[in-house]
Structure 1
Amino acid sequence: MQDWGLARTLKPGYRALFYGPPGTGKTLTATLIGQAAQVDVYRIDLSMVVSKYIGETEKNLARVFDQAQSRRWVLFFDEADALFGKRNSNNQSANDQHANQEIAYLLQRVEDFPGTVILASNLRSNIDEAFARRFQSMIYFPLPDAEQRLRLWRGMLAPQRLSAEVKLDEIAERYELSGGAIANVLRYAALLALRRHSEQISAAELRQGLVKELRKEGRTL
């Protein structure tokens, strides 16, 4: 910025959007970026920031941005569309006007923040276009392919905890799941195994976990 003279035309800071299906590693990646850069990643808790009272959301966010700037935090907005969603151009009500004011304030603070801001959203289309134009990076997190799913299955559980009848390569090939969904399946199946005092997850228990997880997404085996 200084040596190349870019400070005259470019604002400091870096803004990135991570978007893609749930459970594909957006939050994990933000954490790993913080580790690699040796800085803290501050995850914005929307329930603690957003207020129904006019002006309170802006005050809460101002405190977060001010602290982040002085402490060199990476700001991470998870489920960012709740705060950075599309504005209502009709302004039909006081609530719409209030929401638009909050978004405009956020837009200005994000643009002026001299550090790194990462937004995560399940759908890129949910983010207001005024924000989208200001991202330096927009990175899509796809669902893992069969090979990646197999690595996830094998990486999450020691092989001795699986019954010999379990064929992870077939499961990985057949069921399109995110890393987060695979973790949920294994958690549920492990609890079933522990309930029957077993040291291994059976194929039937893994199947029950798959049924439960796919049902959340409106799918069946």
Structure 2
Amino acid sequence: MSTTMKQVRMLEVWLKHRDVLLKDWGLAKKVKLGYSVLFHGPPGTGKTLTASILGKSTGREVYRVDLSVVASKFIGETEKNLNQLFEKAQAKDWILYFDEADAMFGKRTEMKVAYDRYANVEISYLLQKMDSYTGLIICSTNKKGNIVEAFIRRFQANISFPLPKEDERLRLWQKIIPEEVKLAESIDMQQVSAEYELTGAQITNVIQAASLQAGARHEATITRHDLLEGIRIEYELAGKALDDLEER
């Protein structure tokens, strides 16, 4: 089992047995009542999906916080919105999911205007609410290096979501390709998994694009060309070179 999976399983254990650990075992006297964790890794590596799975496996709603809605240009409104959010989350025992944590805890330039100073007050208030929350808070970022180290130390766990390795990519291909869809005999999935570094989200997109091409021909067979075209799209979106893609 990977380190990432082990750490995620620990979150699941905490969610399912929190009351026993805190009350019956007396850990409430030693640790914070809530749990906050940082998910970090490239886009498409499963951070948001993992939060959703945690919610389903523990019977809790995952509430994705939209900071653009919570934050306000009017002084005092952001704190009011945050207070309402955390009060509702506490009552319903939500898993709070803050995407793009850089917006909250990212590195800032030297303060130059009054609003910059007030923004720091808002961050302090958010940290206060996070510290007092008794449920699970997940903050997610694509680049851990963008987060201020002082903020990183406030999380009880930092879970890395790395790019999948070759064997993991093969399992993703096998899992994502629908049973009803056939692959042309010219496609060697072992080779595809070895040569093309893709995330789970990218593999899903490739299968969708390839299936659409096959569907346009009224066929249920994905050809090598279909697959490569799907990979080409994902590589171009990621800014990767594709000069020799057809020759592989």
Aligned amino acid, residue 198 of structure 1: E
2:205 to 140, 160, 184: 184
Name the SS of the counterpart of 1:70 in structure 2.
helix
Q: Are 2:173 and 1:153 equivalent residues in the alignment? A: yes
Aligned amino acid, residue 91 of structure 1: M
- Residue 140 of structure 1, CA deviation: 0.4
Alpha carbons of 1:56 and 1:200: their partners in 2 closer, same or farther (altered >3 Å)? farther
- The aligned residue for residue 15 of structure 2 is none
- The aligned residue for residue 126 of structure 2 is 106
Q: Where do 5+ consecutive residues of structure 1 fail to align?
A: none
Aligned amino acid, residue 146 of structure 2: N
Counting aligned pairs with the same residue, the percent is 48
1:135 to 155, 179, 182: 155
- The aligned residue for residue 173 of structure 1 is 194
1:75 to 89, 92, 96: 96
Q: Is the 8 A contact 1:211 1:220 kept in 2?
A: no
Aligned amino acid, residue 156 of structure 2: Q
Q: How well do the aligned residues superpose, as a CA RMSD in angstroms?
A: 1.8
- Residue 142 of structure 1, CA deviation: 0.6
Number of aligned residue pairs? 220
- Residue 130 of structure 1, CA deviation: 3.1
Q: What is the TM-score when the length of structure 1 is the normalising length?
A: 0.91
Q: Distance in 2 between matches of 1:92 and 1:127?
A: 21
Q: Distance in 2 between matches of 1:21 and 1:11?
A: 29
- Residue 3 of structure 1, CA deviation: 4.6
Q: What is the TM-score when the length of structure 2 is the normalising length?
A: 0.82
- Residue 77 of structure 1, CA deviation: 0.9
Q: Is the 8 A contact 1:69 1:115 kept in 2?
A: yes
- Residue 139 of structure 1, CA deviation: 0.6
- The aligned residue for residue 66 of structure 2 is 45
- Residue 6 of structure 1, CA deviation: 4.2
Q: Is the 8 A contact 1:87 1:100 kept in 2?
A: no
Higher RCO structure, 1 or 2 (CA under 8 Å, sep 6+): 1
